[in-house]
Amino acid sequence: MPRKPTSHRRPWTAKDMKVLKQFAKQKKTQRAVAQALGRTPAAVQQKAFAEGIAFRQRKRRPAATRRKKK
């Protein structure tokens, strides 16, 4: 059975929001913010969207140059 995150349903504090905005300005990834806050990347993504905060998008290779999965 999967374990629940330790921050399950923990409210967002003013400090959390400050860190979220600071990391977004620094163009950090959602995964990096999630690790710093002890939350899941999905929780960070949802909160950022609700607050109108944009994160750096992953750079993806064009479809023609991607490796095929085996």
User: pLDDT, tens digit, for every residue of 15-36?
Assistant: 999 999 999 899 888 888 999 9
Pick 67 or 20 by higher pLDDT: 20
Whether 53 contacts 21, CB under 8 Å: yes
pLDDT at 54: 85
Whether 7 shows a pLDDT value over 70: the answer reads: no
Whether 24 contacts 45, CB under 8 Å: no
pLDDT at 1: 58
Whether 35 contacts 64, CB under 8 Å: no
